[in-house]
Amino acid sequence: MRVLREVRFSLAPADRAMEKTMSAAWAPHLSLRALVGGPVDSRTGYLVDVSRIDRVLRDTTVPMLQRCLASTGGHPLPPAAHMRPLWTAAAEQLGDFTLEELELRTSDHLRFAISAGDLSMVTMTRCFDFAAAHRLYVPDLSSEENFRIFGKCANPAGHGHNYVLDVTVIGEPDSVSGTIIDLPAFDAIVKEHVLDRFDHKHLNADCAEFAELNPSMENIARVIWNLLVGAFERCRLRAVRVWETPRSCAEFRGE
C-alpha cells in the first residue's frame, strides 16, 4: 500500500525580498509530495497517520530547504541539487515507513522528483502549452460510425484544444552546476522540436506527422516522444504526457 501526502509552503518572509533575483527555477510558493509505502495496520486501517508525514516535511525538510535558499543570497543551487539531501532527511525521520518518492514542485510549470532504487538520478518535469485543432476520423468508416466513436471530434472542420504538455527527463545532477540540464536549453529543444511544429496548427492539415495518423492525445504523445527522444544531452527522456483537457491526458514512455 502507498500513501501520497503533499505540504505547501512559502519562502520565509526575509527571502521574499530576494524574489527578483531568484533563478527561474524557483517561485515563492512551493510544495513537497512524499509517497510512502508499507503494510496497512489491521486495527486502524492506516498505513501511516498523514500528520506524521506532515511533521517530517514541515519540521525537517522544509526548514532545511529554506535555510539553503536563504544562505545563497537569492542565487540558490538548482532544485535538482537539493533532492538527495531532502530525501535523506525525510527518510531518516520516517523511520519504519518506506519513502518511495519525494517530489518538489518549485512552480506551476516545473517539478523535480527522486525515487527509491537509484538515488543518484533525479527527474525533472517541465510544463508547456500549445493550441491546435484536430479532427478524429477513420477514412474507411462511415460518417455515422465516425461520429459514434469520436463525437464532435469527427466534425469535418475539426475543433481546437489548448493542449498542456509535460516533458519529463531523468539524469544525474552535475557535480558542479547541480543541474540535470540547463532550463533555457531544455525549453529551446522543446520549442524547436514540438511547439514550433504544432502550435496554432491544424494537426491533420498542417503537420506531416498526422497526415495519415489520427491525432488523438495518445498518438500526439507518441509522436512528441519520437521527436524528443535523443535530443537532450546529459539526460534522457523519461515520459511525455499530453493533456487534451484538464481531466484527460495520455502518457507515453517509449515502451
pLDDT tens digit string along 122-153?
A: 999 999 999 999 999 999 999 999 999 999 89
> What cell does 213 get?
495518423
Q: Determine the Cα–Cα distance for residues 205 and 132; give it in Å rounded to an integer.
A: 11
pLDDT tens digit string along 91-122?
A: 998 877 889 999 999 988 999 999 998 999 99
pLDDT tens digit string along 204-254?
A: 999 999 999 999 999 999 999 999 999 998 899 999 999 999 999 999 998
Query: If pLDDT is split at 50, 70 and 90, which confidence band does 64 have?
Result: confident
CA 190 to chain centre: 14
Instruction: Please confirm, yes or no, whether 235 is among the known catalytic residues.
Output: no
Q: Determine the Cα–Cα distance for residues 15 and 73; give it in Å rounded to an integer.
A: 8
Residue 74 CB partners (closer than 8 Å, separation 6+): 15, 18, 19, 21, 22
Helix (H, G, I), strand (E, B) or coil at 32: strand
Q: Which of 101, 103, 153, 235 is catalytic?
A: 153
Same fold, 2-116 and 123-252: yes
Handedness of CA 141, 144, 145, 147 (dihedral sign): positive
Q: Determine the Cα–Cα distance for residues 226 and 213; give it in Å rounded to an integer.
A: 14
62-70 helix and 83-94 helix, angle to the nearest 10 degrees: 150
Instruction: Please confirm, yes or no, whether 200 is among the known catalytic residues.
Output: yes
pLDDT tens digit string along 153-177?
A: 999 988 999 999 999 999 999 988 8
Q: What is residue 43's predicted lDDT score, i.e. its pLDDT?
A: 84
**CATH homologous superfamily for the domain 2-116:** 6-pyruvoyl tetrahydropterin synthase/QueD (3.30.479.10)
Query: If pLDDT is split at 50, 70 and 90, which confidence band does 71 have?
Result: low
Lowest mean pLDDT among 1-15, 75-89, 159-173: 1-15
Helix (H, G, I), strand (E, B) or coil at 55: helix
Domains of the chain: which residue ranges? 2-116, 123-252
Handedness of CA 188, 192, 194, 200 (dihedral sign): positive
Instruction: Please confirm, yes or no, whether 161 is among the known catalytic residues.
Output: no
Query: If pLDDT is split at 50, 70 and 90, which confidence band does 66 have?
Result: confident
At the topology level, CATH places domain 123-252 in Tetrahydropterin Synthase; Chain A (3.30.479)
Q: Which of 82, 134, 235, 244 is catalytic?
A: 244
